Chains A and B, each alone.
Chain A
Amino acid sequence: MSSLIPAVVIEDFRERAHEALADKQLRNNFRNAMDSLMTKRAVSFSNAHEREHLRALGNAVRARALSKLPDLLERLEANLTRNGVQVHWAETVEQANDIVLSIARRRAAKQVIKGKSMVSEEMEMNHVLGAQGIECLESDMGEYIVQLDNEKPSHIIMPAIHKNAGQVADLFHNKLGVEYTKDVDQLIQIGRRVLRQKFFEADIGVSGVNFAVAETGTLLLVENEGNGRMSTTVPPVHIAVTGIEKVVENLRDVVPLVSLLTRSALGQPITTYVNMISGPRKPGELDGPEEVHLVLLDNGRSQAFADSELRQTLNCIRCGACMNHCPVYTRIGGHAYGEVYPGPIGAIITPHMVGLGKVPDHPSASSLCGACGEVCPVKIPIPALLRRLREENVKSPDAVPRIMRGQGSKYSRKERLMWNLWAKLNSSPALYRVFVKAATRLRGLTPNNVGPWTQNHSAPKPAARSLHDMAREHMAKKSGASR
């Protein structure tokens, strides 16, 4: 069974975090951006009573959708098909890429323009299509910026949030050869001009999906730049890619979810564009794509779905509020996580996608302060799920039932033994008394260097007398006095 223990545990999360922490510019960029986003969210939910009702409702809508997920997915497929949308199922990212590639080949596509899609990041679609000679261009301004700099998104909503205007100015000047400007409006205009032409040249437009509505066969996409609408209407083929959890039962369910999403993400009452895509161009219509495809990707989601506690991970509507409010994410940024989804939601969803063995430190990268759970619009108990993943992480790799791929990636017999001893000590009053007595008597012997603790703190020194001692004496005196 030792083959179940991952042979190579990639332990570089700590290194990346270490480097990010030393990068003052990066720290400032994130602190400022996250402060602004937290304020915007707070302002947009100024009525706490309404906010809490809405969150409870969002949670109920998502829980209901997940409770009948297989049924809803079938209804979604049937209704999309009826609308003329071609539905494809992919268990793995490889299968999803094959589906996209086969459509691209059939259409002899050379250029793809993309709206924003985190699922396409899961698939590494740009890379895969690029290797086949198909240019894949990001049209969301943030995604465009990170693509131009050969980077990956550092935030699921604001992919280039790790850069400030000056850094984007340098990038545009160097890569696009335009005159240097730090003016944000001008920078956006430069980007838009480049992209505008590309929309007309593209053979395929790719987008994500915010909500897939089973009842009507509608793909709902919210965005602020208009690039989503352009990507999904101008090229002759539109391919939408999404995770299987994004389905909701009916259009009415979408109302509270959109409100929660835009307010939690950016403090907006609603986005500038709300696209509701329900099929290709019909005879007699003047615009719209000739073909519309939906690729439904599993990529580990069904593993989370199978466990009633972990299933709550799939409530996520990808607003990013948990990362905006996370003191860890705010300090190390998104790239340190090294995966598509950073921050608290990344820490609970990535292990299902890539296996715990590849991201053993992610569930530990939290003080469990609870800020993520407090703001989650669909009330995912993120701290509880982080703790649960820690439990899966320290289990024996052989323990059954095996709920997660990469279970036991932090299993250590030594550490388990240590906790067993700790448990004995703290559940036996006699042993505990001996321990405390020894610790207080021998306080002078406390070493000055106690591993990682003394990296940030002076050495801890037990008190001269324990509370047990002091309280016992106090109570004896009191009862003596009262007698």
Chain B
Amino acid sequence: MSELFYNAVPNATRVAPPLPTPRHYPAHKPRKVYLFGTCVVDLFFPEAGMDAIHLIEREGIEVDYPQGQSCCGQPAYTSGYTDQAREVARAQLALFAEDYPVVVPSGSCAGMLREHYEDLFKDEPDTLKKVHALAERTFELTEFLLFVCKVQFKDSGAPIKVALHTSCSARREMNTHLHGREMLAQLGNVERIDHSHESECCGFGGTFSVRLPDISGAMVADKTRALIETGAHQVLTADCGCLMNINGSLEKQQKALRGQHLASFLWQRTGGAQ
């Protein structure tokens, strides 16, 4: 069928650009990694960052948390304050001097490092080399655990039903939307329940949530309703922006359901924190 289309255009465009190939992962675990914790985790969900560290260390990998880190620059970038985002991004670029992988417990911040720093430094060829090298070794936590560490979890918890929310950046920038599912599937006592409109945004969108709170509020109301309707005991997500949005809304609505970062859940279910 598609042959028809290739033949339908002249040579200049007959060869369609190649499809994005699945990401290539290193064959062996590294000795050491950097953790880029993200500002939301730093300030609001530090336990998620610590549990990410525990999970990685259990794989026999040393974790370095550079104390100079702050934010990836995304809030300014998506608000249109590009110069300010660049200033912050430049400071982060200076932190990861060694060639270790950079693991990020958030799809959107990992996506910022991997996909958007290139845009920020497009006019600086020398910086761009650094940016590309960083992008190459930046991993979202779930892909690092699954494809670099090749984790095999053993569930030690009681039976539980969970709903998994995937951030839009994990889904559409990092392509890590199936990774959480795959790791949860390794946990024998965990039943993951799909929720309605699962691929739809929770309404956070960074500053969008405070610029247009009516629309963002309608989105998070629908998302939390869908999550509650699953009857799950707990919500999981690998992105603390979404988590802050979803938990904040659930608490405001005085619902019992709460979300937790996937890293914490995985750590607790597999013998950690005991």
Q: Which of B15-66 contact A (CB under 8 A)?
A: 16-17, 19, 35, 37, 39, 41-47, 49-50, 53, 63-65
Residues of B with C-beta under 8 A to A429? 67-70, 91
Residues of B with C-beta under 8 A to A462? 43-44
Does A106 sit within 8 A of B, measured CB to CB? Answer: no
- The answer on a CB contact under 8 Å between B5 and A57 is yes
Residues of A with C-beta under 8 A to B213? 452-453, 455-456
- The answer on a CB contact under 8 Å between A391 and B82 is yes
- The answer on a CB contact under 8 Å between A327 and B87 is no
| A389→B252 CA distance, assembly (Å) | 33
Mask for A347-367, Cβ within 8 A of B = 1, else 0? Answer: 000000000000001011111
18 A-B pairs, CB-CB below 8 angstroms? A14-B212, A56-B19, A255-B5, A327-B219, A363-B80, A368-B168, A422-B84, A422-B88, A427-B90, A429-B68, A439-B43, A452-B210, A452-B213, A466-B46, A468-B67, A471-B37, A474-B50, A475-B63
Residues of A with C-beta under 8 A to B119? 384
- The answer on a CB contact under 8 Å between A394 and B79 is yes
How far, in Å, is A15 (CB) from chain B's closest CB?
Answer: 10
Does B73 sit within 8 A of A, measured CB to CB? Answer: yes
| A240→B5 CA distance, assembly (Å) | 28
Known: A56-B16, A427-B70. A460 touches B9 (CB 8 A): no
Q: Which of A392-440 contact B (CB under 8 A)?
A: 392-394, 416, 419-420, 422-429, 432-433, 436, 439-440
- The answer on a CB contact under 8 Å between A460 and B49 is no
Residues of A with C-beta under 8 A to B211? 364, 452
Known: A252-B9, A256-B9, A327-B203. A419 touches B79 (CB 8 A): yes
- The answer on a CB contact under 8 Å between B5 and A256 is yes
Does A331 sit within 8 A of B, measured CB to CB? Answer: yes
Residues of B with C-beta under 8 A to A463? 43-47
Does B97 sit within 8 A of A, measured CB to CB? Answer: no
- The answer on a CB contact under 8 Å between B249 and A457 is yes
Q: Which of B1, B68, B220, B251 has a CB less than 8 Å from the CB of A50?
A: B1
9 extra interchain contacts, Cβ-Cβ under 8 A, other than A60-B13, A467-B49?
Answer: A57-B9, A250-B10, A361-B212, A419-B79, A423-B87, A424-B87, A426-B91, A429-B70, A433-B67
- The answer on a CB contact under 8 Å between A423 and B41 is no
Residues of B with C-beta under 8 A to A468? 37, 42, 65, 67
**At the interface, is chain B mostly helix, strand, loop or mixed?**
helix
- The answer on a CB contact under 8 Å between A466 and B43 is yes
Q: Which of B41, B82, B173 has a CB less than 8 Å from the CB of A370?
A: B173
Does A196 sit within 8 A of B, measured CB to CB? Answer: no
| A43→B210 CA distance, assembly (Å) | 36
- The answer on a CB contact under 8 Å between B46 and A467 is yes
Q: Which of B80-112 contact A (CB under 8 A)?
A: 80-85, 87-88, 90-91
Known: A53-B19, A373-B172, A423-B88. A14 touches B65 (CB 8 A): no
Mask for B184-202, Cβ within 8 A of A = 1, else 0? Answer: 0000000000000001110
Known: A255-B8, A427-B88. A21 touches B1 (CB 8 A): no
Known: A252-B8, A462-B44. A391 touches B205 (CB 8 A): no
Question: What 5 pairs across the A-B complex have the smallest Cβ distances?
Answer: A367-B205, A457-B248, A390-B80, A369-B201, A456-B217
Q: Which of B9, B19, B76 has a CB less than 8 Å from the CB of A49?
A: B19
**At the interface, is chain A mostly helix, strand, loop or mixed?**
helix
Output the nearest chain B residue to A469 by Cβ-Cβ distance: B46
Does A290 sit within 8 A of B, measured CB to CB? Answer: no
| A370→B166 CA distance, assembly (Å) | 13
Chain B CB within 10 A, most for which of A256, A425, A465? A256
How far, in Å, is A378 (CB) from chain B's closest CB?
Answer: 12
Does A444 sit within 8 A of B, measured CB to CB? Answer: no
How far, in Å, is B165 (CB) from chain A's closest CB?
Answer: 12
Q: Which of A57, A391, A423, A453 has a CB less than 8 Å from the CB of B13?
A: A57
- The answer on a CB contact under 8 Å between A471 and B82 is no
Output the nearest chain B residue to A465 by Cβ-Cβ distance: B46
Output the nearest chain A residue to B39 by Cβ-Cβ distance: A426
- The answer on a CB contact under 8 Å between B75 and A252 is no
Range of interface residues on A (Cβ < 8 Å): 35 or more
| A389→B80 CA distance, assembly (Å) | 8
Does B245 sit within 8 A of A, measured CB to CB? Answer: yes
Residues of A with C-beta under 8 A to B200? 327, 369, 371
Does B133 sit within 8 A of A, measured CB to CB? Answer: no
| A454→B220 CA distance, assembly (Å) | 13
- The answer on a CB contact under 8 Å between B201 and A419 is no
| A21→B71 CA distance, assembly (Å) | 33
How far, in Å, is B186 (CB) from chain A's closest CB?
Answer: 26
Known: A364-B211, A369-B172, A470-B49. A54 touches B203 (CB 8 A): no
Does B160 sit within 8 A of A, measured CB to CB? Answer: no
Chain A CB within 10 A, most for which of B1, B67, B78, B215? B215
Output the nearest chain A residue to B85 by Cβ-Cβ distance: A423
Known: A252-B10, A367-B203. A18 touches B214 (CB 8 A): yes
- The answer on a CB contact under 8 Å between B50 and A470 is yes
Does B12 sit within 8 A of A, measured CB to CB? Answer: yes
- The answer on a CB contact under 8 Å between A255 and B88 is no
| A384→B68 CA distance, assembly (Å) | 29
Output the nearest chain A residue to B62 by Cβ-Cβ distance: A478
| A334→B256 CA distance, assembly (Å) | 35
- The answer on a CB contact under 8 Å between B218 and A367 is no
Does A270 sit within 8 A of B, measured CB to CB? Answer: no
Known: A367-B205, A394-B81, A419-B84. A53 touches B2 (CB 8 A): yes
Q: Which of B49, B70, B206, B208 has a CB less than 8 Å from the CB of A471?
A: B49
Does A374 sit within 8 A of B, measured CB to CB? Answer: yes
How far, in Å, is A284 (CB) from chain B's closest CB?
Answer: 33
Q: Which of B53, B79, B91, B221 has a CB less than 8 Å from the CB of A390?
A: B79
| A425→B75 CA distance, assembly (Å) | 13
Residues of A with C-beta under 8 A to B209? 367, 452-453, 456
Output the nearest chain B residue to A63 by Cβ-Cβ distance: B13
Does A86 sit within 8 A of B, measured CB to CB? Answer: no
How far, in Å, is A144 (CB) from chain B's closest CB?
Answer: 31
Residues of B with C-beta under 8 A to A369? 168, 172, 200-201, 205
| A61→B5 CA distance, assembly (Å) | 11
Does A135 sit within 8 A of B, measured CB to CB? Answer: no
